[in-house]
Amino acid sequence: MNTEVQNLYNKLIDAWNRRDAQGMSDPFAEHGVQIGFDGSKLIGKEEIFSHLFTIFENHPTAPFITKVKEIRSLGTDAAILYAIAGMIPPGKSDIEPAVNAHQTLVAVKKDNGWQVELFQNTPAQFHGRPELVEEMTEELRELL
Per-residue DSSP letter, 20: -
Strand order in the sheet with 101-110: 41-43, 28-35, 113-123, 101-110, 78-87, 64-73
* CB 51, CB 57: distance < 8 Å: no
Helix/strand/coil for 19: coil
Task: Give the HSE-up count for residue 126: Cα atoms under 13 Å, Cβ half-sphere.
Answer: 16
90 phi and psi angles, rounded to 5 deg: -55, 135
Between β-strands 28-35 and 41-43, what pairing exists: parallel, antiparallel or unpaired? antiparallel
Per-residue DSSP letter, 61: P
pTM: 0.94
Bridge partner list, 120:
35, 104
Per-residue DSSP letter, 99: G
Helix/strand/coil for 118: strand
Tens of pLDDT along the chain (144 residues)?
A: 799 999 999 999 999 999 999 999 999 999 999 999 999 999 999 999 999 999 999 999 999 999 999 999 999 999 999 999 999 999 999 999 999 999 999 999 998 799 999 999 999 999 999 999 999 999 999 999
